[in-house]
A and B are shown apart, each in its own frame.
Chain A
Amino acid sequence: MQIVKSPFLLLVEGKDDHIMLSSLLSHLGKNKEAFQIVPYGGKDNFKAVWKNISNQAEFEDVKGLVVFRDADESCDSALQSICDQLKRDELVPRDAVPVEAGVVNKQNPAISVGVYIMPDCSSIGALEALLLKSLSDDMQSAASGFVSGAHNHIPEAQLAKYKSSDKSKSYAYSALFENANFHDTFKKNLWDWDHPIFDQLKNFLDEFEIE
């Protein structure tokens, strides 16, 4: 079983990020063979997955590395946590580890490394926050209104499970198109990748000069 198959590696939190990035990179005309996206199954798994991947013999051939993580409650903490792991065992040269989110460190000729903290390397939140901002104001209000309005009609037994979150709102948007699930919205191109909100992420990815 070989896990590292490409010299350009993108480590993402989960399947949603995987599908989103695949869709975005495809929109940008990148060759699927030129990069590899590996989900690490949530922030708590990053340490173990990073150790496994970085110790693979094939990792020595990796020239570009990006780690995506959700900011959740703090962008700085998320960045710090990823960078601490990248420095472990020095399998990535110390001078290649970035000090700022969303900025690619090209200081070491052996490998370029970047850490991107969703949604925009400064705000709290996650991938869905970025996606929602790409919708028109009216659509954002409609999705938000549905989620908050529905709250009053939820049976008491299910109320504890209710969450008015960016995730609920983005799922509400995806439901408009009778999708089987949230992932289908990427396959059906229901997000506007040309929206300026994605420019920061696109510029970051462009820095890696993927073919």
Chain B
Amino acid sequence: MPLVDSVQFKNYRNFTDFEMKDLKRVNLIVGDSNVGKTGLLEGLVTLWGDEQQFKALPNTFRMNYGNDITTKENFWSWLYPEKNKSLSVELASHYIGSQDHEVHRVRFRDDFTRYKEYVTPEKITNAGSGRFNVVPAKVYEEYFHRDFLKINILPIGIGDYEKQKSLFNKVSLMKNGESQLIDSLSVIEPRLNGLRYLEAPPSTQPMVYADVGLDYKIPTTQFGHGFTRSMEMLSNLILSGSDIMIADEIENGIHYSALGSVWKAIIDYAVKNDVQVFATTHSRECIAAAHEAMEAQDNYELNVIRLQNRKGEVVAINHDEEDIKTAFDLNLPLR
């Protein structure tokens, strides 16, 4: 089961009173440009991320420029609607699997830096009564019998092989890391028996080589785009041990023909490791690939969430399996 079943934002950026309900294992966020897709992901990072992830936000999904004062003026202040700091920003999410109505709220202070102290988990012991027990973050684990959520923010785009090698080496050093990666990649390359970091003469640079049952090993650079991108994403996920994966424009840098493989690998990993995915996309092919990969699973757990401006308010519209299938059958818009 997914970990989070709903998210609420109040007075955050252009989300005046916003709610995403009935969240699933994989949540693909779509909508017109500038409707707030990236802002939504930033809200999720603010809500669930650690201090480092929060502080890195100005550069995570956007182009940032200037010193701290410029960044404060041009990024942090915009977390308030129209920079109106008199408003009380409220970000909250509900977790399922708990008998209580568990809420996790975030509030900001003026300097936006001492974030962690202002994460205020709350537990509504009786959802109907509206009474809150406010719990300090430091006793969160004791109170809820679980850790804070760990999130993994997927780097935008593809392509740095040095980074991929480094990720693989780190995964290899983890207990069961390598076998977990190979197991997940086997979904898209069933012949894969193993991966090795080798310097194979006459080549003078070490690379990651794959054993696919042949007499020789093949450098992973010779595999398709879907394989290498999946390897990078999965390595990131395994290393972070995350509960939640967040990706902006997930299709970026992936050829459309490779999207099926990438989604197959992500969904298989997410289902087996109880990871929840939040990703934005502009691509119909990307939605189609995720839909097809999810159809192959025992349970269909894909939700396409369209963000839309309705009379000045951003609203989230869920599209379930039936909606997605009909949209593809009849060539209706989904983005």
A-side residues, CB < 8 A to B, are 1-3, 39-41, 45, 47-49, 51-53, 55-57, 60
- Contact (Cβ within 8 A) B308 A3: no
Q: Which of B308, B325, B326, B330 contacts A55 (CB under 8 A)?
A: B308
Per the bound structure, the CA–CA distance linking A41 and B334 in Å amounts to 17
Q: Which of A2, A48, A57, A60 contacts B326 (CB under 8 A)?
A: A48
Q: Which B308-335 residues have a C-beta within 8 angstroms of A?
A: 308-311, 317, 319, 322-323, 325-327, 329-335
- Contact (Cβ within 8 A) A52 B327: yes
Chain A: CB-nearest residue to B327: A52
Q: Number of contacting residues on B, CB 8 A?
A: 21
Per the bound structure, the CA–CA distance linking A55 and B326 in Å amounts to 15
Min C-beta distance of B322 to chain A, whole Å:
5
Which residues of chain A are near B326, meaning CB under 8 Å?
41, 45, 48-49, 52
Given contacts A3-B332, A3-B333, A56-B333, contact A48 B327 (CB under 8 A): yes
Per the bound structure, the CA–CA distance linking A61 and B209 in Å amounts to 58
- Contact (Cβ within 8 A) A47 B309: no
- Contact (Cβ within 8 A) A2 B333: yes
Per the bound structure, the CA–CA distance linking A57 and B308 in Å amounts to 7
- Contact (Cβ within 8 A) A51 B323: yes
Chain A: CB-nearest residue to B306: A55
Contact with A along B38-75 (1 / 0, CB 8 A): 00000000000000000000000000000000000000
Which residues of chain A are near B317, meaning CB under 8 Å?
51, 55
Judged by DSSP, the binding face of B is mixed
Which residues of chain A are near B310, meaning CB under 8 Å?
57, 60
B-side residues, CB < 8 A to A, are 32, 284, 306, 308-311, 317, 319, 322-323, 325-327, 329-335
Min C-beta distance of B39 to chain A, whole Å:
18
Chain B: CB-nearest residue to A39: B330
Q: Which of B32, B284, B311, B332 contacts A52 (CB under 8 A)?
A: B332
Per the bound structure, the CA–CA distance linking A63 and B17 in Å amounts to 28
- Contact (Cβ within 8 A) B330 A40: yes
- Contact (Cβ within 8 A) A49 B308: no
Per the bound structure, the CA–CA distance linking A60 and B311 in Å amounts to 9
- Contact (Cβ within 8 A) A52 B333: yes
Which residues of chain A are near B322, meaning CB under 8 Å?
47-48
- Contact (Cβ within 8 A) A49 B333: no
* The 8 A-B residue pairs with the shortest CB-CB distance in the complex, in nearest-first order: A48-B326, A1-B333, A48-B323, A52-B332, A55-B317, A41-B330, A45-B326, A48-B322
Chain A: CB-nearest residue to B329: A41
B306, B325, B327: most-surrounded residue (chain A CB, <10 A): B327
- Contact (Cβ within 8 A) B308 A1: no
Which residues of chain B are near A2, meaning CB under 8 Å?
333
Which residues of chain B are near A49, meaning CB under 8 Å?
326, 330, 332
Which residues of chain B are near A47, meaning CB under 8 Å?
322
Min C-beta distance of B195 to chain A, whole Å:
41
Chain B: CB-nearest residue to A45: B326
Add 12 more A-B contacts to A1-B332, A52-B326 (CB < 8 A). Answer: A1-B335, A2-B333, A3-B332, A45-B329, A45-B330, A47-B322, A48-B325, A49-B326, A52-B323, A52-B332, A56-B333, A57-B310
Per the bound structure, the CA–CA distance linking A139 and B334 in Å amounts to 47
Per the bound structure, the CA–CA distance linking A47 and B321 in Å amounts to 13
Per the bound structure, the CA–CA distance linking A85 and B72 in Å amounts to 47
29 A-B Cβ contacts within 8 A? A1-B331, A1-B333, A1-B335, A3-B332, A39-B330, A41-B326, A41-B329, A41-B330, A45-B326, A45-B330, A48-B323, A48-B325, A48-B326, A48-B327, A49-B326, A49-B332, A51-B319, A51-B323, A52-B319, A52-B323, A52-B327, A52-B333, A55-B308, A56-B333, A57-B32, A57-B309, A57-B310, A60-B310, A60-B311
Per the bound structure, the CA–CA distance linking A47 and B334 in Å amounts to 15
Which residues of chain B are near A41, meaning CB under 8 Å?
326, 329-330
Which residues of chain A are near B284, meaning CB under 8 Å?
1
Per the bound structure, the CA–CA distance linking A77 and B216 in Å amounts to 67
Which residues of chain A are near B311, meaning CB under 8 Å?
60
Per the bound structure, the CA–CA distance linking A17 and B332 in Å amounts to 19
Per the bound structure, the CA–CA distance linking A156 and B115 in Å amounts to 78
Which residues of chain A are near B32, meaning CB under 8 Å?
57
Per the bound structure, the CA–CA distance linking A49 and B284 in Å amounts to 17
Which residues of chain A are near B309, meaning CB under 8 Å?
57
Per the bound structure, the CA–CA distance linking A51 and B332 in Å amounts to 11
Chain A: CB-nearest residue to B330: A41
Which residues of chain A are near B332, meaning CB under 8 Å?
1, 3, 49, 52-53
Chain A: CB-nearest residue to B335: A1
Chain A: CB-nearest residue to B317: A55
Min C-beta distance of A149 to chain B, whole Å:
38
Which residues of chain A are near B308, meaning CB under 8 Å?
55, 57
Which residues of chain B are near A57, meaning CB under 8 Å?
32, 308-310
